[in-house]
Amino acid sequence: LPRCLFVYLHFQKNKNFTKSLALSVFLTCLGSSFTIGYNLGILNLPGEHIKEFLSRTMLGKNASVAENTTNLVTPSFLYAQVSTAFVIAGAIGAFSCGAIADCLGRRNGLIVNSLFAIAGGIMVGPCVAYSQPALLFVGRVLNGLNFGISMGIAPMYLTEIAPISLRGGIGSLHQLALTIGILVSYLATLTYTLNTSTLWPISVAVGSIPGLIALILLPYCPESPRFLFMKKGKEEQARKAFQRLNCKDNIDETFDEMKREMNEAEKRPKFKFSKLFTQKDLRMPVLIACIIQVFQQLSGINAVITYSSTMLKTAGIPLMYIQFCVVAVGAINVLMTIISVYLIERAGRRTLLLWPAVLLAFSLLFLTISVNVASSTKDPTTARTAGIISAVLIILYVCGFALGLGPIPGVIVAEIFRQEPRAAAYSLSQGVNLLCNLLVLFSYPSINDAIGGYSFLPFLVIVIVCWIFFYLYMIETKNRTCDSNARDLASPKIVACQRPSRLSYKNEEPFYSDE
C-alpha cells in the first residue's frame, strides 16, 4: 500500500496519473488484491490452534490424541479441508468472474464482490467463542468466492483503465498488493499478536475491513471506459470516464480504435465461451493463458505460502524461529514484487517470465537436497546447517517467483486477447489457476507425509516443462496493443533465440478473425 502511494505521487508529478486513476488503482489493490492476499496467508501460522479447535469441536478430543489415531479424519485432515473449501469456492468464483464482469461491469463487479469478503470475515470471527466450526467453513467459502472473483476482475479492471505505457506497471500492482496482504496476515498472526487459541478468528475478521472501505469508496471511481463503450455502447459516459482516468493517451485515437474493433465485432455472431476452444486464432492465446497459470500455481508457491511453517519444520528449523522465517518469506515476497513493478516496463514481460523462473528451479532442486540432508542426518550440527540452508533456499525460491511468475501471468493474460474474448478468457484462466491451487493445497500435505524432502521434485519437473514451452512460443507484449498481440499469436511461431527487439512486430493494425 505505501508503494501504491509512492507510485501515485511519482506519476502525478509527471502528469501521467490522474487523481481518479490513482484512487481507482489504490482502492482496487486495497479492497481486492490486498484482501485476497491476506485471506490466503491468514491461516498459516495459527495452524496448530485451528487443528486443536477443529479436533475439540468435531472429534471431541485433543488434537495431540486425535493425530495419533488410525482414523482417516484427523485434525490435520480437517485443517486441510478448510483450505480445500476456500480453493473450491475460489474456483467457482474464478469460472464465474467473466460473466460477472460482463454483466455488472468491472468496477461494479468488484463492489459486489467486496460483500463476500466482508461476510466471510464476520462469519469466522465468532467461531471459537460459540464453538461452531461450521462458521469457519462457511466463512472460508465466502472468502474463497471473493478470492476467485477478485483474481479475475481486479487485474482486468486495472489493465483496462491504465494508459498503454503504464499498463504493465499498474497491472502488476495487483500482485504487489496481494503479497503485502500475505505479509500483513503473517504479522497479524505472530505469537505476540493474534496467534492464540482464542484470538486467531479475530485476525480473519480483520480482513473484512479493506473490503468495507472499497464497498464505500469504489462507487466514486469511474467504470472501465472500454467496458462502457464496447459492452454497453455508452460513448458519452465512456469518454467522461476516459478523461478522468487517462491524461496520457489521445482520446480520439483510442475511441477510433475501439470503434473499428466494435464495428468488426458487430459483423460477427456474439462471442460465446465455447469459442475459446473452437476458434482457431484463439488456440495459442488460450493455451498460453492456461499454461501460464499451471506454471504459476504448480511451481508450488501456494504450498510455500500456506504450508511454509510445515516446510520449515520438515527442514529442521527450530519451532521458536519458524514464525520469523515465515515473516521473512512474506517480506522478501513484497520486496521482490516491488522490484518487479519497476522492471516490468523496462525488462519486458517475456524476460521476467523466463529468467527468474531459472532461479526458482535451482532453488527447488537444492531445496530437495538440503531438506533430505536435514531430515536424515544424525549429526545435530549438520542438521542445523542444512535447515538454515533450506530456509535460505525457500527465500531464494520466493525471490524468483515474486520477480516473474507472481505479477507477470495476470498482465500477459490481459494483453493477449481482444476485447470480445477477454472476460471469458480471464474466467477460464483463473479457473485453471484455482484448480491448480486446489490440487497443490489438497495434495501437498499427503505428498509431504509420503515422500518428505522429495515433495519439491514434482514442482521442479512442471517448472522445467512449462519454461521450455514459454521459451519457445512466448512473444514480448510490452508497449503493444492487445489486438497486435492477438494477431501475432493467431499464427504462432517459435521465437526462441530471437533478440528481444525482434519478438514484437511492427504492424499495429487492429486484428479480427472468425476462424
For 454-471, how does the pLDDT look when each residue is reduced to its tens digit (9 = 90+)? 888 999 999 999 999 999
- Give the number of other Cβ atoms within 10 Å of residue 346's Cβ: 11
φ, ψ of residue 195 to 5 degrees: the values are -90, 70
| Grid cell for residue 348 | 519486458
User: What φ, ψ does residue 245 adopt, rounded to 5°?
Assistant: -100, -30
Q: Which three cell numbers stand for residue 488?
A: 501475432
With residue 100 as reference, give the H or E element that holds it: helix 75-104
Give me the amino acid identity at 196: T
The predicted structure's pLDDT at residue 5: 46
What are the cell numbers at 513?
Answer: 478473425
The residue written with cell numbers 511519482 in the block is 10
DSSP 175-186: HHHHHHHHHHHH
DSSP string, 376-407: H---HHHHHHHHHHHHHHHHHHHHHIIIIITT
**pLDDT the model gives residue 154:** 94
CATH architecture group of domain 279-515: Up-down Bundle (1.20)
CA–CA separation, 462 and 465 (whole Å): 5
Question: CATH says 1-215 is which class?
Answer: mainly alpha
The grid cell for 93 is: 468464483
Retrieve residue 385's grid coordinates. Answer: 546447517
Among 219, 229, 267, 233, CA closest to 251:
229
- The values of phi and psi at residue 267, to 5°, are -80, -15
**Which regions of the chain are under pLDDT 70?**
1-16, 70, 265, 305-311, 314-316, 497-515
The grid cell for 490 is 493467431
Nearest alpha carbon to residue 276 among 432, 407, 411, 66:
432
Structure pTM? 0.80
Nearest Cα neighbor of 387 from 315, 319, 322, 327 is: 315
Report the alpha-carbon distance of residue 370 to residue 456 in Å, rounded. 11
What pLDDT was estimated at residue 498? 63
- Smallest CA-to-CA distance from 245 within 350, 338, 359, 107 is with 107
Q: What are the pLDDT digits (tens) for 340-392?
A: 888 887 888 999 999 999 999 999 999 889 888 877 888 888 877 887 888 88
Spatial distance between the Cα atoms of 401 and 397, rounded to a whole number of angstroms:
6
What residue type is 399 in one-letter code? C
Instruction: Establish how many alpha carbons lie within 13 A of residue 310's alpha carbon, considering only the half-sphere containing its beta carbon.
Output: 24
Please check whether residue 208 is in contact with residue 185, taking contact to mean a CB–CB distance below 8 angstroms: no
| Confidence at residue 263, expressed as pLDDT on a 0 to 100 scale | 77
CB under 8 Å, gap of 24 or more: what pairs does 387-392 form? Answer: 387/312, 387/315, 387/316, 387/317, 388/317, 390/311, 390/312, 390/315, 390/316, 390/317, 391/312, 391/315, 391/317, 391/325
